[in-house]
């Protein structure tokens, strides 16, 4: 295999826990535990700059699993588990954040 891309920021606080790829909207999301959720373009041709860091507050402890819940072709939610609180946080899949 050949490395195609290196990207992303890591806070160094804990670990990168999970990654979700939204093929329709073209984004990659990952949980930087204890910090938030980071968003990047999935297509390497669009660059490696971080597009957003969100879900920075309201979590009991760690940002864990991420999944995509579609409600339509380009609508729905990004679900992020708050493991210590045994809850899920919902964020809109569409939009700039």
pTM: 0.85
Which is more confident, 89 or 60? Answer: 89
- DSSP strand pairing (75-82 vs 63-72): antiparallel
pLDDT confidence bin for 96, thresholds 50/70/90: low
Answer whether residue 9 shows pLDDT above 80. no
What CA–CA distance (Å, rounded) separates 52 from 66? 15
Which is more confident, 32 or 96? Answer: 32
Q: Which domains, from first to last, does the chain contain?
A: 16-92 (2.40.10)
Grouping H, G, I as helix, E, B as strand and the rest as coil, residue 77 is strand
**What was the pLDDT predicted at 97?**
55
What CA–CA distance (Å, rounded) separates 80 from 18? 10
> Quick one: which of 64, 76, 77 has its CA closest to 36?
64
Could you give the percent of the chain with pLDDT greater than 90?
Answer: 39
**What was the pLDDT predicted at 34?**
80
């Amino acid at each position: 295999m050949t490395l195609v891309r290196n990207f992303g920021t890591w806070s160094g606080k804990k670990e990168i826990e999970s990654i979700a790829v939204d093929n329709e909207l073209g984004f990659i999301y990952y949980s930087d535990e204890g910090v938030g959720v980071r968003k990047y373009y999935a297509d390497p041709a669009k660059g490696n700059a971080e597009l957003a860091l969100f879900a920075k507050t309201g979590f009991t402890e760690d940002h864990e699993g991420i999944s995509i819940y579609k409600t339509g072709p380009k609508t729905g939610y990004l679900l992020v588990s708050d493991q210590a609180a045994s809850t899920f946080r919902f964020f809109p899949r569409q939009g700039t954040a």
